[in-house]
Amino acid sequence: MEYPNKGTLFLTEDKKSPKFPDMNGYIKIERDYLKQLMDKSDSLVEIKLSGWKKIFASGKKGVSLVIDTYVKPDADSVPKSQEKDPWE
- Report residue 83's pLDDT band, with 50, 70 and 90 as the boundaries: low
pTM of the model: 0.64
Check if the beta carbon of residue 63 is closer than 8 Å to that of residue 9.
yes
SS3 76: helix
- At 84, the pLDDT band (50, 70, 90 cuts) reads low
Domain boundaries, the chain: 6-70
31-75 pLDDT, tens digit per residue, is: 998 888 888 877 888 888 999 999 999 999 999 999 987 767 776
Q: How far is CA 74 from the centre of its chain?
A: 22
- Helix runs in the chain, H state only: 31-40
Q: Helical H runs in 9-80?
A: 31-40
Is pLDDT at 81 greater than 60 in this prediction? Answer: no
Whether pLDDT at 79 is above 70:
no
